[in-house]
Amino acid sequence: MRRKEFLENIRHRTRSGRYQPTRAPDASWTPGRRAAAAREVGDPPSRFLEELAALGGHGRRVKDLEGARDYVVELARERGARLLVRWDVEELERLGADGPLREAGVEVAVWRDLEDFREVAGRADIGLSTAEWAIAETGSLVLESGPGKGRTVAILPPVYVAVVPVERLVRTVPEAIRMYAGRGSLPQNLCFHTGPSRSGDIEQSLATGVHGPGEVHVLLLG
Amino acid sequence: MEKTGTEERARREGLASGVEGFNGRARRALADPELHDSIALFTRKTLKGRAARLAELPDAPELRERAYHIKQETMANLDRYLGQMADAVEARGGNVFFAETGEDVVRYVGELAREKGAKVITKSKSMATEEIELNRRLEEEYGELGLEVVETDLGEWIAQLAGDAPSHIVAPIMHMNRHQIARVLSGVAGEPLPPDVKALAGFARRRLREKFLAADIGISGANFGVAQTGTVCLVTNEGNGRLVTSVPPVHVVVMGIEKLVPRFEDLEVFVQLLARNGTGQKLTVYTSFITGPRGADELDGPEEFHLILMDNGRSKLLGTEFEEALYCIRCGSCLNVCPVYRQTGGHAYGSTYSGPIGAVITPLLKGDREAKDLPHASSLCGACWETCPVGIPLHDLLLKLRNRQVDEGLAGKAQEIAFKGFEEAVERPALYRAGARLGRVAQRPLVRDGSVRRLPPPLSGWTDFRDLPPLAERSFRELWREGID
């Protein structure tokens, strides 16, 4: 009932209005000729790494799973990590980092052992996940929520690592959005995550890791 | 009757917080050098970043055109798109509430908090909730629940602690420097904190972390809502938005009805324009697209999702000459380029929304009488329109508002007489010539160094804030008659 009235009121106003906004001439934004809609992204993997580095993230191309595994274990050791929380997905199984991490004294928490990611992710030193896609033009990761893919893994721990096969790079933001626009059903939570958490609220000075991870590592696999 | 209704509503909505008196507040702001330094620092940096990021986008002009047309299409069919949005959210297991006024929003959230036995509510920065003073009203009107409502955006939190209102749509405490901020946070810490950005941010992280994990309800705004899919898009840099919408068991979205876009692919246009114009980034750090509560097979994320679609005066603008004001995506770039905002800062406007867009929407939402000064707080230079990523003709709307004030008899007798007189004079050449001659003689004692710095009352209102170029010794018409060499 309430909804009906509400929408009725709006319908009445939109239909009864005689005023049709006209477009003001657009001198400052309209170029002489239409610019090409496609943007140049020559070599997506190196562009991705450049963009991520410019944001203060750490990116690296690794040629095989072994390289990625060593990086993760070494990072955990360097940071003195005691607890790592990770997604329960096939790719991270194949990474095979759990054993070496445990040997290095790092506890590994995986989805299937958990009731709720939130509590564990809140205590974890490192979060580890994959990503659905990565966007070269902006250095972004595209993260979907779903079974085994906790949202808090990428946001609560101070250090966040993602392992992404290089074939999953797309060039631009519009390309990434169009991939989801064509879909029947969207994931509950989809996030374009671009570099470490940052704030410029205090005198425009950059402060990283103010709520989310201050350290973001992306390993491009292959 | 309409007018009184609006004003009455404005008072009830807590909107009547002294929008009149722009001149007084502006004068105080002009005398504050610390404020000027803060504004200059912020706007210079942001504008530079904006220009660089837009230059990288060869299709930026097309995106602006598309943004305008998408919004035009949305507003013309808003009832249909709102219905579609509500259906889509419900189909995904979410709840939808249509809120006519801010009071409706407060009641919905308050009752929800009661039902859930909530104690701590974390909030991600939202202008819509600022507009209706949600925090204050929840704590006051639902005092028996003992709610703690915590802003989690760093700037917004500091503003909340300082009892201060945000002074910029995007950068709420742009008006404060780090010494002032250190004083505020030291008060909370119970020990002196150094005026060091890293130390202050670190303190905030530790304090707010506890709140994030303890929260029973998370409240966010919405940058965009997608009718087709029921998706809410939220952009933040700090990650607080992602925490507020992922950690507590209940997520409430307060969204103005104008934030809709019809299709998911429309976000391609807006997401790119918002960050580039607002902060000079390609994308903000977190661009989240949230569709309903978590799935049955997910181990985190909110179990309940509530979408509040808030009108609060917006639908009045549909189908009117002011409709374009609803196209705003709150990027804040019109503030940064505005010569008036840059001199006075946001608090001078005395309204939730400051700068050119604030000068337009405040009178439209609150009523002309309440926000009488604001349409005059502009030089009409058009910089705001030029910078607007959606192409809202802000300077045009400001003129229309000034016009409306005259029609409603709000402009003041002196102004009315002056403009009437001018109208008479330009319609009668003889009278015009006589007036111009008289003016040239009368101005002689007033001209100093080539300009008129002060006019006698009642004309002094004009020269209080500007110098007036003197009338030329010989008019163009005289020169023309004599023949120009």
- The reply to whether B308 and B253 lie within a common domain is yes
Q: Is B64 a domain residue?
A: yes
A 61-120 residues with CB < 8 A to B:
111, 114-118
B475 and B436 Cβ atoms separated by less than 8 Å: yes
Same domain, residue pair B120 and B268: yes
What does the pLDDT read at residue B231? 98
Looking at beta carbons, which residues of chain A come within 8 Å of B213? 118, 122
Domain end (from B374, B390, B411): B411
| pLDDT for B326 | 97
Interface contact flag, B298 A146, Cβ < 8 Å = yes
Give me the helices (H) in chain A, please. Answer: 2-16, 44-54, 65-78, 90-95, 98-103, 117-123, 173-181
Residues 204-223 of B with CB under 8 A from A: 204-205, 208-209, 212-213
What is the total count of domains within chain B?
Answer: 3
User: Would residue B188 count as lying in a domain?
Assistant: no
Within an 8 Å CB–CB cutoff, is residue A123 touching chain B? no
> Within 10 Å of residue B146's Cβ, how many Cβ atoms?
9
CATH homologous superfamily for A42-221?
NagB/RpiA/CoA transferase-like (3.40.50.10420)
Domain boundaries of chain A, sorted by first residue: 42-221
Lowest-confidence segment of A19-23, A117-121, B256-260, B465-469 by average pLDDT: A19-23
In a domain? residue B192: no
Domain that holds residue B450: 417-482
Residue B52 sits at the chain A interface (C-beta within 8 Å): no
Is the domain of B84 the same as that of B26?
no
Scanning B237-276 for CB atoms below 8 A from A yields 237-240, 242-243, 245-247, 257, 263-265, 267-268, 271-272
**Phi, psi for residue B254 in degrees, rounded to 5:** -105, 115
Residues B121 and B228 in one domain: yes
Q: Are B178 and B200 in contact (CB under 8 A)?
A: yes
Residue among B249, B239, B242, B244 nearest B219 (CA): B244
* C-alpha count within 13 angstroms, C-beta hemisphere, residue A61: 12
Q: What is the CA radius of gyration of chain A?
A: 22
Q: Enter the ipTM.
A: 0.94
**Are residues B257 and B238 part of one domain?**
yes
> What pLDDT does residue A38 have?
56
Distance CA(B13)–CA(B130), nearest Å, equals 11
Q: Is B155 on the interface with A (CB under 8 A)?
A: yes
* Same domain as B232, residue B140: yes
Whether residues A13 and B153 touch (CB distance < 8 A) is answered with no
Any idea what the CATH number is for the domain that residue B129 is in?
3.40.50.10420
pLDDT at A40 (0 to 100): 79
Phi, psi (rounded to 5 degrees) for B232: -110, 130
- Spell out which residues of chain A touch residue B289, defining contact as CB-CB under 8 Å: 180, 186, 189-191
User: B292's torsion region: left (phi>0), alpha (psi -120 to 50) or beta?
Assistant: left
Measured between CA atoms, the residue of chain B closest to residue A113 is B299
Residue B323 lies in a domain: no
> Is B72 part of any domain?
yes
As separate numbers, helices (DSSP H) first and strands (DSSP E) second, chain B gives 22, 12
| Contact across the interface for A186 and B229, Cβ inside 8 Å | yes
pLDDT band at A97 (very low <50, low <70, confident <90, very high): very high
Non-local (6+) Cβ contacts of B150 within 8 A are B120, B121, B122, B123, B157, B160, B208, B211, B215
B137 and B227, same domain (yes or no): yes
Q: Are residues B81 and B103 in the same domain?
A: yes
Q: What is the mean pLDDT of each run of 10 residues along chain B (485 residues)?
A: 45 46 90 92 92 89 91 93 98 98 98 98 97 95 96 97 94 94 96 96 96 97 98 97 97 98 95 95 97 94 98 95 96 96 95 96 93 92 95 96 89 73 84 85 83 77 76 84 76
Q: Do B181 and A202 touch (CB under 8 A)?
A: yes
Inter-chain CB proximity A211 and B152 less than 8 Å: yes
Mutate to test the interface with B, among A86, A111, A138, A210 (most CBs of B within 10 A): A210
The answer to whether the CB atoms of B268 and A10 lie below 8 A apart is: no
